[in-house]
Structure 1
Amino acid sequence: MTSLTDAVLAGADGAELLRHPVPDDFRAAFIREEDSAMFADVRDKDVRKSLHVGAVPMPELAPDEVLIAVMASAINYNTVWSATFEPMPTFGFLKHLAAKGGWHTRHDQPYHVLGSDAAGVVVRAGSAVVGWQPGDHVVVATGHVNDQEPASHADSMLSDHPRAWGFETNFGGLADYSVVRASQLLPKAAHLSWEEAASNPLCAATAYRMLVSDKGARMKQGDVVLIWGASGGLGAYAVQFVRNGGGTAVGVVGSPEKAEIVRRLGCDVVIDRTEIEQGSPGSLGTPAGWKRMGKAIRKAVGEDPHIVFEHVGRATFPASVFLARRGGTVVTCGSSTGYHHEFDNRYLWMNLKRIVGSHGANLHEQWETNRLISQGRVVPALSTVYGLHEVGEAARSVQTNRHIGKVGVLCLAPEPGLGVTDPALRERVGTDRLNLFRSTAGGR
C-alpha cells in the first residue's frame, strides 16, 4: 500500500489526494512480449499461463489524460485475444501507436497492461483536462480516439484509427492505476458498487450502438430482434435495450440455467440452442439447423427477425443471414468463434437484407448508455467477481465460456459492494434486479 492508495480507500477528497505522491510503480495484470510465441502449435492456449500480475512502472501523464485509481475492472473477450496472442500479438498495436511519436511512445513497452473496463477515482488530471478533477468517481469509455481529426467530430469511431483502450493501447484497467484520456471519462452511476459499475461500459455501449444508435441497426418499436448469446455480456444488454425500446427480444442460449437468467431479465422468447441442435452439436451451422431455428422463432412470435444481433461469428453468421427477414438487418460487432465467415449470398441479395458492421461506441453513445444505467433503466450483467490476483482464472472462465454475463475483477476495492453513494436509488431499482446475474448464476 502507498499513502495515495490509502487516501483513496479512505474516501479522501481531491485536495487531500493531491497531497500524496503518485507511486513509482503499481500492481497490474499484463502479458510479456517475450512470451508472444509461447502458444505456437499448442491447442489449448490457456490464458492462465500467459497472464501475469506484478509491479509495472508508473507512466508519465500527458496533458489531456487523467490517472485513475482503479477500484474494479472486468474481463472482456479482447483480454482473451491479447493473452492468447491471437489473431496477432497486441504488441504490434502498441508499436504502431508509439510510431506516432510524442506521448504515444510510452505505450511501446515489453509488457502490455490489459483491461478495457474500469471504475475508479481520479487522482491526477493533466494540465489540459477540463471538467474532471481529483476525487471524481468515474467509469471509463473504451474508445481511445484522435479527437483532433475532423472525422471524429462526426463519429469518432470513423476516425483514422479508433483504438480499444487496454487492448490496442497500454496501461489498461486490470490494474491498481490506469492512464485514461479525459475524453473517455463518464460519471459513475451513484447507486452501483465499483464492480457493478466497472462491468458495464464496453459491452453496454457496444450493444447500444448496434441496436439503438443511428450508426447501427436503427431498431424501432415492434422490431423482432434475435440475440445470439443472450446470457453473455453483450447479449444481456441487448435484451434490455430491445425491451426498453418496445421490441421483441428473442434470446438464444446454451443451457437451461442461462435460459432462466434471460427470462428473468425480461427476454420475451428464449431458445435453447441445444434443443434446436437435437443432440448434434454444431448443426446450427447447417441449412437444416437454420430451418429448425427459423421454425422455432416463427412459432414463438409469428414472424422472422427484423434484426439479428450477431457477435459470435463463424459458428452463427450463416444462420444469421438466413434467419433475418426479407429486408432485415444483421448487425455484427465481433467474431469470437472465428473471423472468416461463409454464407449463402442468395439469402442476402435476393431478399434485400443488410449487413451492418459496428465497432465499439463513440463518446456520445457511451454517454447515452451511461445515462440509462445511472437512471436504473439498464442493470449490470455482473455474475462473478474475482480479485486481481485471480485474473488468470477470471479470464479463463471467459475463454472457456463457463461464465454468464460479465466477470468482474476487484482491483483496489478490498471487497465487493463498496462505492454506492446513492443508496435510495439503489433501493428503488431493487437489489434483486441489480443482482439478477449473481443470484441466479450463484456468483462469487
Structure 2
Amino acid sequence: MDSLSEAVLSGASADELLSAPVPSEYEAAHLRVTDVEMFAGETDKDVRRSLRVGPVAMPELAPDEVLVAVMASSINYNTVWSAMFEPLPTFEFLARLGRKGGFDKRHDQPYHVVGSDAAGVVVRTGTGVRRWKAGDHVVMSCVSSDAEEPATHADGMLGAGQRIWGYETNFGALAHYAVVRATQLLPKPAHLTWEESASSMLCAGTSYRMLVGEHGARIKQGDVVLIWGAAGGLGAFAVQLVRNAGGIAVGVVSSPEKAALVRELGCDVVIDRSEIGLGDATTAVEAGKRLGRVIRREVGEDPHVAFDYIGRATFGISVFVVRRGGTVVTCGSSTGYQHEFDNRYLWMNLKRIIGSHAANYQEQSECNRLFALGKLVPALSSVYPLAEVGDAARLVQQNRHTGKVGVLCMAPKEGLGVTDPETRERIGERHLNPLRPVL
C-alpha cells in the first residue's frame, strides 16, 4: 500500500495527507480497448470477463479538479453497459473527449476506469479549487459539466459539455482513487458509512430530478405515482420521494421477495409484474388495461405520474395507463431504447412525456441534504470488495439484486466513515438499511 493510502486509512490530518506523495499508479476496475470485440456473436455478455482489476497510471490534475481517495463505490447500470460494450463501446466517448485537447486529452487511454458513484476523502485539489481541501469527507455527483458553458448556468444538464463521470469520462469511481471536477463534490452525510453514502447519489439524484425537481414531474400531495422496478436502485429512492411528498406510491416488482422489501420502504401498493403480463408494443394497451384495473382496485383512480426507466418493455403501458393530463417521466432504458406507444392515448388525452437525465448540481445538493436530515435512507442491499467487482456487476446485469450493490474500494471493511454516531443512533440502524438482511 502506498504512503498516501496509509495516511488516508489512519485518519491523517490535512498536512499529513499533503506531505504524502501521490502514487504513480493505483488499483482500479477498468475495461481494455483490446477487449471491445470479445463478445462478438455471443448472447450472454458476461461482464465478469471484461471487468478487470489492476494498476493504472495516475493522471495529472486539471486546475478545477480534485483527487479523492475512494473509500467505497457502487454499481450502476451504466457500468454494466460499459462492460458489455453496448450500445457502443465507451472508448468512443473517451476518444471524442480526447480530441478536444488540453487536459481532456488524458481521458483517451487504452483503458477505461469505470464507476459513477463514490464516497471518500479529498487528498489533492487543483490550483483553481476554492471550496474543498485535503481531508474533507465527500460524496460525488456523477455529472461532470463545463462551468464556462452558458447553458450550464440555466441547468447543468443542458450543457453540451455535460458528461457522466466514469461512463463518458475516464478515471471513475470503482478504484482506490478518482479524479472529479470540484463541482461534483458534496459533503458526505456524517451519520452514514462509506458504503451507504457511496450507493446513493446517482440513483437518488436522478429520481429526485424526475419526480421532485422543477425539470421533472413536480409531484404533489396525493399524487398516485406508478413506479416501475420499485425494488431497483432508482425505484427504491422513487418510493421514498413519493412517500415524503405525501403521494401514493404504486410499485411494480418481479418477485414476492422484492415486494416485501419495497413495502419496507413504505410503498403503498405493490404489484407483481406477472399480474400485468408484459409483452411488446402490440399488447401494451391490453397490459395497460390489466394494470389500470389493479391500480383502480387498490387506490380508486388512475396514476398521475408513471416513473419509467425500464424502457421498451413498459413504455407503451406507461403512456396508456396514466390519467388524462398525466405525465410519463423517463430516463435510461434497461430493456431497450426503442420505445413504441399508441400516440392516440398521448395526444387525445393531453398527456406529457418528460425526458430526464441525472441531476444538476443544485438538485444533487438538495437531494444530499435529504440524506443528511435522515429524510432519505440508502437502498444498499449487498456489498462486495473491489476485487470481486465483476461479480457485483453481474448481479445487476442479471437483475438478481435489489436496491443498490455497494463496492468497498480503499475501505478495508464495512461500517467505517461514521462521524456523527448520535444521529445514526437516533435514526436507527434498521431504518437506515431497510433492504439489507436482518442479522
TM-score (norm 1): 0.97
Q: Distance in 1 between matches of 2:34 and 2:194?
A: 33
Matches within 5 A, 1:100-115: 100-115=100-115
Name the SS of the counterpart of 2:436 in structure 1. helix
Which amino acid letter does the alignment assign opposite residue 344 of structure 2? R
Matches within 5 A, 1:15-414: 15-277=15-277, 282=279, 285-414=283-412
Deviation track 1:237-291 (CA, whole Å, cap 9, x = no partner) reads 00011010111110111111110011111111111112333xxx64795432221
Name the SS of the counterpart of 1:438 in structure 2. coil
Q: Distance in 2 between matches of 1:165 and 1:424?
A: 33
Q: Distance in 2 between matches of 1:27 and 1:264?
A: 37
Q: Structure 1 residue 84: deviation in Å?
A: 0.4
Structure 2 CA distance for partners of 1:300 and 1:283, relative to 1, 3 Å: farther
Q: Which runs of 5+ in 1 are unaligned?
A: none
Deviation track 1:335-382 (CA, whole Å, cap 9, x = no partner) reads 000000111111100100000000010000000000000111000000
Q: Distance in 1 between matches of 2:404 and 2:300?
A: 32
CA RMSD, Structure 1 to Structure 2 (Å):
1.1
Q: Structure 1 residue 161: deviation in Å?
A: 3.1
Q: Distance in 2 between matches of 1:358 and 1:237?
A: 15
Which amino acid letter does the alignment assign opposite residue 28 of structure 2? A
Q: Is the 8 A contact 1:217 1:307 kept in 2?
A: yes
Q: Is the 8 A contact 1:115 1:174 kept in 2?
A: yes
Alignment length (residue pairs):
438
Q: Distance in 2 between matches of 1:206 and 1:142?
A: 10
Q: Is the 8 A contact 2:184 2:361 kept in 1?
A: yes
Equivalent residue for 2:10?
10
Equivalent residue for 1:439?
437
Percent sequence identity over aligned pairs: 67
Which amino acid letter does the alignment assign opposite residue 395 of structure 2? S
Q: Distance in 1 between matches of 2:231 and 2:269?
A: 13
Q: Distance in 1 between matches of 2:341 and 2:141?
A: 34
Q: Distance in 2 between matches of 1:435 and 1:186?
A: 22
TM-score (norm 2): 0.98
Q: Structure 1 residue 311: deviation in Å?
A: 0.2
Q: Is the 8 A contact 1:94 1:107 kept in 2?
A: yes
Q: Is the 8 A contact 1:283 1:289 kept in 2?
A: no
Q: Distance in 2 between matches of 1:331 and 1:13?
A: 45
For structure 1, which segment, 362-371 or 10-19, has the greater mean C-alpha deviation from structure 2 after superposition? 10-19
